[in-house]
Structure 1
């Protein structure tokens, strides 16, 4: 009775009406056809509803039951996972290993798909599921051999860390066993799209996930390629304009790429980037904010710390909140599913936050092949044999492909278009990558485990000793002190290194080889500064000259100006003032650039010609003249500004760089615009279009770009400036890598919402720069937290989506609205508070 008792009478009415039509000359065949079409239509509707019900039934079967009791193997004692009202797991166990077991189980409950995709990425096995679309990713990851490095790293971790890795793996596998035994919908809805079995989790898998994160946070190889390409097109003065150095950084002379290799500029467009690609676009390798003040600058007479690491947005978020209650005390903060521990957060006595250090940890070496034997390459001691290994890569339902991996003394040979190295590799040469993250002696997992148990800054610094990659800035606070320490290793290059880490170099020249690592005592660190403040926004951290310079490339030159002002102008800080700074949407960049590019356009009257855009231009300039630079989602000013500088930068570089290279400069370079409009070292030369007979001024280019921007916005958002809203364009695109590409399903699988902020605001929302949504927010603070040791139990946290990765869960996106509004949730180490508002308690009992 699928359609109820009214179905058959309704069909009879249709028959009667059709029969009546016979009196008007219809044939019996037409009537029969009509009746059968009605039956087919209704039947298809019934089948669709049945299929929808079946899909819902199967998918909902994998929703985790938070209020449950499960007997599992691998535990020594009872573990409780208390889920608070926001589905944050509070994990209680009698031993450290049991707590890690509980975290593995909780991660697998909520983020199993995400974990397995990170593992497949590291293994180079995405194409088994996604076919040709991810083959190049697999090929690169197989060449880098991140999974093989992770396997070697396991044995180099401490016994305590290895025990934690084993216990965490056992917890994940306990959940996998429960899914199989209880037929719980394969553990996640996405697995119904694929027939592959889920392999048991291992300690190697957790370290491999850590290596993938290191790859996402390293962008220097791409920078070297970009600099090499531009040096083939521009003279050194103009190269400094488009790739400017951070202010006050000592400049060291070096040869340009054309002096090292006989190359011509490439006009090859960039390949389309896949959602699973861990190699970030230029300028997207990482961004974050972190700061802390000591008791002398705190209204609570104790230290405060804030941290908001920035990564590419996705649904679910990279981050998941958790609390781990160890026998020696609890730790709480942000975790990454697949990794056993709190990545950034606090315990009862110590807190730590992260920002990307931008340590120059990668070098590209151009290796010269033997013209008589391409299996050999040139070294300082003559030709040597390239190491090779044949491996199989599965590609969908096709037969597995055999590929040959190659390696030189510097590292893996890059395949295909990886990092864009093919565009700067001369014929008869290959490109190899040296990278600190490929050193199997790295003990970054030890660092993670030890930080959770550190009780003061001294112990926190000691925890960093084994860390090589990813190199991170650690902002630390205990009850009395604050500190900033660069953790991880930087390659020690010779003074005579030809590229100084800034561009690819000949691999056969001995002076280009690394000489180990920079000594730890030469890495930047600030302990208990007299100002009482430590602060980092990915800005430059040292004035030391090469080779102790850490990097020539930094992730920020703009946010630091706003952050320094907000933190220093207030004598005493509170958790509320830290939240205010963390969610600040004022663009210091806009405040600097607008008076420069608009100085000849602000007007009373009409100094520029009347045209179709005059009414829009008048209103836009009036609003920008009164604007304070706040990138508020509800106003039009942020949209006008973002579109204006986007078109301005594109117009300035297009004729000098050519279309393909100009298309790669999709994101604003504020120092470039500032250099041009201040005419630093003759940079105003960019304003003249060399292919035209007229001599254009920078005012001409500013007006042209404003007209282009207004025309674009008018066509997309209408002819009334007052109706434009920045948030309509600056949509946070938290898309599901797979389900977000399925029409209809994407509406519930992807989380899209208007946001404030921009490229250079403290509440950062990096613009995509690419069509069809160049102003979309694609890179932001997926985790924010503030700790006040004067009242630690009222510390505040938020992630950008929800705790669950299951799209049918109410906790899939429930935190996203709070995140968008700059709000937080409380997270306490008080057990009674955690249990008071619990939505469920999962009891894991040892299986007898």
Structure 2
């Protein structure tokens, strides 16, 4: 590709003016809005605000490594915190963060434009963030759309294609493009009419809905105004040329204008990735069957419930004062469970009619969206701080991309006053950020709003159905499954040399949602369908975000909680002003039949539907405000996708006695009880140190050492490895560099031993007792490991998740290992597992298993532990852990050292309020 780009460089430089947009006319800046944070609000969003690059920018980057202005200027400060946090002071915070004050001082203005008479966009020298000031509400939203297109047009275009399952015809048939479009099309296979229907529903919901529709229309107008200006002026993103959509010489071609329905698509992508909860019931059922096969029904049920850990009494919770919010727990004797017959489950096929390069993918089936959840929050009440004002360090994890999925902006206009981060293409409101005298953020909560229903298959002529039948029984009728198709074909492009190919994406839908699997239940063929409460309701959350941005709507913690209740996605919301802190768990939580176990498939058409469920529009009865976990002015709040409150059952698995939320909770609790008072600096330090801590070392290694210390370790290699681990733990158990920019770890050998040991340890501890079938099935419900490099799992060299993603320790068997070993040592264990696994319950045999596996781990070649990839050489430990911004356009970024930290982050402390 580089050779072709080199040829193009000379051609483009001579034939076009695609070097930079023309200078825009200056306009007076709107008078500043009163800012109640002073200089105590900061934020950061790597790699940089500028996510658009002309063709010349891309070619120069490919040849010389240069990048456009503001494409990477937030990456260095973000990366530097990993080494610089120990010496952090309140005076040096903005060496690692941006000043997030409202407005731009006159001497810091780098550009001022007026794309319409009622809006001004001012950008600052330091970061290039747009500060949008409208004299009308429509002008403010128009400016937001114009600025979004300036900074993220190509990314926005990519994402609207991803959500429709139409990325490959637009950007090429590379394997990554195919995976993206398949994943999101399977989750939300909407027709254009259904997308428009969602817009109409919101507009008809009341005054907030009508205002939201007007805001969205003005926003789209702004996007399209920029497209017209950039196309005519030849300063549009260069990826349009490289993918063949616009001719570099003649400028012929089209950059398709945006439509309101594109915003619905973008909302569905964001909701599926970050705001969903539940699902996976079929995998869970397969695992439970395997465990029952191993242990028998009664003992198998006890073992299963121990591994389920739906409300573990030892798990870390955001609400830690004993508050109870019952929801989602399995009843003692559930009814209506639709367990598949062993060996009968097949995933629903998604890809059909493959030709050309698409033929290399075989048996592609519906797969769940791999949701992200690294977002974290540390919020401390004023009673615990040095100043007497609450302090917060919080932000979402949306992954690391180039350009970033999020973008920064300030919006000021009638009924709108906020600065912060928004998803590109949904930035008509600030989604996470600050208002005049308050700030807010969210973490993924993922409580269970998705259930899997088994619908009996049928044939309209009355003949015997099979698992391949595409008709199903619903309320006494044999109905055809709805089929939504995308016929995609692609050709090679300059940017993607994948050979030509085509395929058809085909989603099968029932009244209970899209089909995910086929199986046999009680001798009858069924389809399993996933029903999500936000299905057909993707854009309704904008009502809550609209209020977050409105200073007239948010004057108190209670106001914020009520606004958060309008968000139907599953998020933990955190709020802080000069006096109060608050927490609220949002989501359209369906009210279930009390006999239903939501963690397993449920029989459809059998009286076990959600209460008040109406398939026309997918509406139901939802739990009211007071039944959602909520609190005001708890001494402190932490969240790292941990459990919310007592009796609020976790969707999924792994919220057990060890969770990465412990890394925050222990540090914040120590600050609160230490007596010195919490500050922005020491709370940021707590977050940063937790982001370098190895959860396995800090929380599980101590009990591993206690088992190892029960008998002599006579093998010299094992003894040496154990002492290296012990020294690492004594030094904090951090994955910390030897020196800033050193590209090597202190205790590098101990870290390598732990990375190699964990998968060997878990298999040796659990598989002999569970048996291979149950053990393997359970690892498909909950992966055993999520190290920063993402390489180590139950099999040598097998990857888990996306390497280089930053996020680590969200999912794993940490709690299982911890509980089992403590039980074996005779220590008190609340909520024990249903069996003793290690060594078959014999401490001596368990001790030997630990010694054997740590010996093997120490001997494993480093090139096997870190096998290398397109970014790293085999054996490069630092690089294997490093954060790499996945390129979604023509500009790439350099790797940075690992940090288990939000992508966008705020550090805030308001000294006064309105």
TM over 0.5: yes
Does 2:221 align with 1:170?
Answer: yes
Equivalent-residue separation in structure 1 for 2:399 and 2:368 (angstroms): 9
1:697 is aligned to 845
1:263 is aligned to 342
Gap change, CA 1:733 and 1:703, over 3 Å in 2: farther
Q: How far off is 1:652 after superposition?
A: 3.8
Equivalent-residue separation in structure 1 for 2:20 and 2:858 (angstroms): 48
Does 2:378 align with 1:291?
Answer: yes
Does 2:750 align with 1:646?
Answer: no
Does 2:666 align with 1:565?
Answer: yes
Gap change, CA 1:66 and 1:432, over 3 Å in 2: farther
Q: How far off is 1:317 after superposition?
A: 2.2
Gap change, CA 1:533 and 1:363, over 3 Å in 2: same
Gap change, CA 1:552 and 1:278, over 3 Å in 2: closer
2:49 is aligned to none
Equivalent-residue separation in structure 2 for 1:59 and 1:352 (angstroms): 45
2:237 is aligned to 187
1:686 is aligned to 837
Preserved CA contact (<8 Å) 2:515 2:529: yes
1:670 is aligned to 814
Q: How far off is 1:215 after superposition?
A: 0.6
Q: Deviations over 1:433-469 (max 9, x none)?
A: 211121338521121121111233233233234332x
Q: Aligned to 1:753, what secondary structure does the other structure show?
A: coil
Gap change, CA 1:447 and 1:132, over 3 Å in 2: same
Q: How far off is 1:82 after superposition?
A: 1.8
Equivalent-residue separation in structure 1 for 2:5 and 2:438 (angstroms): 56
Equivalent-residue separation in structure 2 for 1:59 and 1:115 (angstroms): 25
Gap change, CA 1:427 and 1:598, over 3 Å in 2: farther
Gap change, CA 1:407 and 1:565, over 3 Å in 2: same
Preserved CA contact (<8 Å) 1:289 1:537: yes
Gap change, CA 1:563 and 1:731, over 3 Å in 2: same
Q: Aligned to 1:287, what secondary structure does the other structure show?
A: coil
Q: Aligned to 2:878, what secondary structure does the other structure show?
A: helix
Does 2:561 align with 1:413?
Answer: no
Equivalent-residue separation in structure 2 for 1:465 and 1:503 (angstroms): 27
Equivalent-residue separation in structure 2 for 1:115 and 1:124 (angstroms): 14
Q: How far off is 1:136 after superposition?
A: 6.8
Does 2:439 align with 1:351?
Answer: yes
From 379, 386, 398, give the equivalent of 1:311: 398
From 627, 642, 645, give the equivalent of 1:539: 642
Q: How far off is 1:85 after superposition?
A: 1.2
Equivalent-residue separation in structure 2 for 1:642 and 1:266 (angstroms): 34
Equivalent-residue separation in structure 2 for 1:82 and 1:676 (angstroms): 56
Equivalent-residue separation in structure 1 for 2:736 and 2:169 (angstroms): 44
Equivalent-residue separation in structure 2 for 1:199 and 1:336 (angstroms): 20
Preserved CA contact (<8 Å) 1:267 1:660: no
Preserved CA contact (<8 Å) 1:90 1:322: yes
Q: How far off is 1:368 after superposition?
A: 1.3
2:18 is aligned to 61
Aligned length: 691
Q: Deviations over 1:715-744 (max 9, x none)?
A: 4699xxxxx9963431113221476xxxxx
Q: Aligned to 1:510, what secondary structure does the other structure show?
A: coil
From 549, 553, 567, give the equivalent of 1:452: 549
2:527 is aligned to 430
Preserved CA contact (<8 Å) 1:540 1:554: no
1:5 is aligned to none
Preserved CA contact (<8 Å) 2:451 2:532: yes
2:591 is aligned to 492
1:105 is aligned to 146
1:773 is aligned to none
1:595 is aligned to 702
Preserved CA contact (<8 Å) 1:122 1:147: no
Equivalent-residue separation in structure 1 for 2:893 and 2:366 (angstroms): 19
From 434, 448, 451, give the equivalent of 1:360: 448
Preserved CA contact (<8 Å) 2:885 2:892: no
Deviates more, 1:116-125 or 1:636-645: 636-645
Q: How far off is 1:227 after superposition?
A: 1.3
Gap change, CA 1:555 and 1:393, over 3 Å in 2: farther
1:418 is aligned to none
Q: Deviations over 1:262-311 (max 9, x none)?
A: 2228799999999xx997666x5423222323332232232222212123
Q: Aligned to 1:437, what secondary structure does the other structure show?
A: coil
Preserved CA contact (<8 Å) 1:638 1:726: no
Q: Aligned to 1:104, what secondary structure does the other structure show?
A: helix
1:236 is aligned to 301
Equivalent-residue separation in structure 2 for 1:616 and 1:270 (angstroms): 51
From 325, 350, 357, give the equivalent of 2:412: 325
Gap change, CA 1:74 and 1:81, over 3 Å in 2: closer
2:210 is aligned to 159
After superposition, residues 191-202 of structure 1 pair within 5 angstroms as 191-195=241-245, 197-202=254-259
- Alpha carbon RMSD of aligned pairs, Å? 4.2
Q: Aligned to 1:517, what secondary structure does the other structure show?
A: coil
Equivalent-residue separation in structure 2 for 1:576 and 1:645 (angstroms): 34
Gap change, CA 1:100 and 1:395, over 3 Å in 2: same
Gap change, CA 1:595 and 1:462, over 3 Å in 2: closer
Does 2:577 align with 1:478?
Answer: yes
Preserved CA contact (<8 Å) 1:386 1:407: no
Q: How far off is 1:159 after superposition?
A: 2.2
Q: Aligned to 1:334, what secondary structure does the other structure show?
A: strand
1:580 is aligned to 685
Equivalent-residue separation in structure 2 for 1:60 and 1:730 (angstroms): 41
Q: Aligned to 2:477, what secondary structure does the other structure show?
A: strand
From 593, 603, 607, give the equivalent of 2:713: 607
Equivalent-residue separation in structure 1 for 2:663 and 2:14 (angstroms): 51
Gap change, CA 1:653 and 1:753, over 3 Å in 2: farther
Q: How far off is 1:60 after superposition?
A: 9.2
Equivalent-residue separation in structure 2 for 1:528 and 1:78 (angstroms): 38
Q: How far off is 1:78 after superposition?
A: 4.2
1:393 is aligned to 487
Q: How far off is 1:346 after superposition?
A: 0.6
Gap change, CA 1:508 and 1:328, over 3 Å in 2: closer
Q: Aligned to 1:260, what secondary structure does the other structure show?
A: coil
2:887 is aligned to 736
Q: How far off is 1:685 after superposition?
A: 4.7
* Unaligned residue ranges in structure 2 (runs of 5+): 28-111, 204-208, 247-253, 292-299, 316-328, 351-359, 492-499, 613-619, 738-744, 786-811, 824-828, 867-874
Preserved CA contact (<8 Å) 1:222 1:281: no
Gap change, CA 1:191 and 1:649, over 3 Å in 2: farther
Q: How far off is 1:608 after superposition?
A: 2.6
Deviates more, 1:112-121 or 1:62-71: 62-71
Equivalent-residue separation in structure 2 for 1:639 and 1:123 (angstroms): 42
Q: Deviations over 1:379-402 (max 9, x none)?
A: 4x4233134246442221579766
User: Could you tell me the TM-score, scaled by structure 1's length?
Assistant: 0.72
Q: How far off is 1:422 after superposition?
A: 5.4
Equivalent-residue separation in structure 1 for 2:761 and 2:557 (angstroms): 47
Q: Aligned to 2:588, what secondary structure does the other structure show?
A: coil
From 127, 132, 147, give the equivalent of 1:91: 132
Preserved CA contact (<8 Å) 2:120 2:143: yes
Deviates more, 1:621-630 or 1:205-214: 621-630
Preserved CA contact (<8 Å) 1:229 1:424: no
Gap change, CA 1:579 and 1:699, over 3 Å in 2: same
Deviates more, 1:51-60 or 1:554-563: 51-60
Does 2:275 align with 1:131?
Answer: no
Q: How far off is 1:631 after superposition?
A: 3.1
Equivalent-residue separation in structure 2 for 1:45 and 1:481 (angstroms): 55
Equivalent-residue separation in structure 2 for 1:265 and 1:97 (angstroms): 56
Gap change, CA 1:363 and 1:49, over 3 Å in 2: closer
Preserved CA contact (<8 Å) 1:74 1:170: no
Q: How far off is 1:484 after superposition?
A: 0.6
Larger radius of gyration: 1
